[in-house]
A and B are shown apart, each in its own frame.
Chain A
Amino acid sequence: DARVTQTPRHKVTEMGQEVTMRCQPILGHNTVFWYRQTMMQGLELLAYFRNRAPLDDSGMPKDRFSAEMPDATLATLKIQPSEPRDSAVYFCASGAQGVDTGELFFGEGSRLTVL
């Protein structure tokens, strides 16, 4: 059963600490997305990669967020330093361009609480 795997599922941290979220996309998917979901803003695209190359990270606060894809099986989203306003659910999603138009498969999300 292919699925997107995200860790950690829950994270509580204090303001100023570094947070790293990890994502394993579905094998064979060449496009990986990081979304953030809050009650106020809904689902917002933070960054995405195609064939491991970053295509767009304009949705991320550049001074504190960074996204990387060191290999085809791992995408990371790092926040340093974290702030209370970063509290949200962070979703990773993957898809296969040319196979399933627009169908993104979402992971279960990482719920981040910054105190």
Chain B
Amino acid sequence: QKEVEQNSGPLSVPEGAIASLNCTYSDRGSQSFFWYRQYSGKSPELIMSIYSNGDKEDGRFTAQLNKASQYVSLLIRDSQPSDSATYLCASEGGFTDSWGKLQFGAGTQVVVTP
């Protein structure tokens, strides 16, 4: 069992709608969480980071963290065709010198349909 679990999708979302992505993690010691976006054939790029319980908004993206439930989510509002990609959830922390040592989920493929 992977430490970070995501639904693989594909998640089909009409243009302009909200895409909701979920992620759970098993290591209760994890402190920091990230969402990376990866276009097909490209490398992952960071779009959101979240460290505290609650919501964090950045433009059309909102990340939500609930450490008690070991749950992280990402909302994409007003979805655009350019949002079609695989979204990777990652956790960090829980042990000494864990900076940057990320555990990635398998990713959720999002397809935004015009």
Contact = CB atoms under 8 A, between A and B. Distances in A.
Interface in A65-115: 91, 95, 97, 101-104, 106-109
Of the candidates A43, A55, A109, the one having the most CB atoms from chain B within 10 angstroms of its own CB is A43
Contacts of A91: 43-44
B106 interface: yes
B45 interface: yes
Contact of B101 (A42, A45, A101, A107): A45
A56 interface: yes
Contacts of B2: 42
Contact of B102 (A45, A55, A56): A45
B97 A104 contact: no
A63 to B, nearest CB: 23
Contacts of A31: 99-100
A56 B107 contact: no
B44 to A, nearest CB: 5
Contacts of A107: 43
Given A42-B107, A43-B88, A55-B97, A102 B43 contact: no
Of the candidates B42, B100, B106, the one having the most CB atoms from chain A within 10 angstroms of its own CB is B100
Interface of A: 31, 33, 42-45, 48, 50, 55-56, 91, 95, 97, 101-104, 106-109
